[in-house]
Amino acid sequence: MCHDMPLVQPPLLFQGGGGERSILGKINSRNKGAAGERELAKLLGYYGYDTRRGQQFCGANGDADVVGLPGIHIECKRVERLNIYEAMEQAERDSCGKEIPFHLNRPTVFHRKNNHPWLVTMRLEDWIEIYREWEAGKALEQE
C-alpha cells in the first residue's frame, strides 16, 4: 500500500456531460447503492488500497459494503438524504463481533450525495485512536 501518496482530489468518476444526474438519475436506489460501492472501491484504489465490493462475493447481510481496509468496517451510502445516526447504527450492528487480528473492525460510514465529495463519519473514540497511531508514527519518523 502507498501511504505516502499525497492526498489530492482524484478525478470525478461519474461526471458526464450533463453532470451526475445524466448517469445516476433514473436508476433505482439498489443500483445506485451498488454503483456507489463500486465508485468508492475505485476511489480507494486510486489512493493505493486494494478494495472491492463486499456483497458481490458473499451476498450475506451484515458484511461490509466495501472491503480491503483492515480495521475499518465500511458502510457505503450514496443517497441525497442520509440519516447519519441510522447509518452508523447499521455499521455498528454489522461490524459487531467481527474482529481482525489485534483490532476491532471500526464501524465507519462513507457517504456522498450528487455533486459533492465523499465524506467519512466514524465514532470519536475510533478517530482519536487512529489519530494517536498517526502521531506515534510521525514521532518515530523524527527520531
Domain spans, the chain: 21-142
- What rounded mean pLDDT belongs to the chain? 80
Per the structure block, which three cell numbers stand in for 51? 478494495
Q: What does the pLDDT read at residue 133?
A: 92
User: Percent of the chain beyond pLDDT 70?
Assistant: 71
Q: What does the pLDDT read at residue 36?
A: 93
The Cα angle at residue 49 between residues 43 and 54, in degrees rounded to 5: 75
pTM score over 0.95: no
Reported confidence tier of residue 80, pLDDT bands at 50, 70, 90: very high
Tell me the CATH architecture of domain 21-142.
Answer: 3-Layer(aba) Sandwich (3.40)
Residue in this structure with the C-alpha cell 457505503, named with its chain if needed:
76
Q: Is the pLDDT of residue 47 over 70?
A: yes
Average pLDDT over residues 79-101: 85
Q: What does the pLDDT read at residue 97?
A: 61
Average pLDDT over residues 37-45: 95
Strands of the chain, DSSP E: 52-53, 66-67, 72-78, 99-100, 103-104, 106-112, 119-122
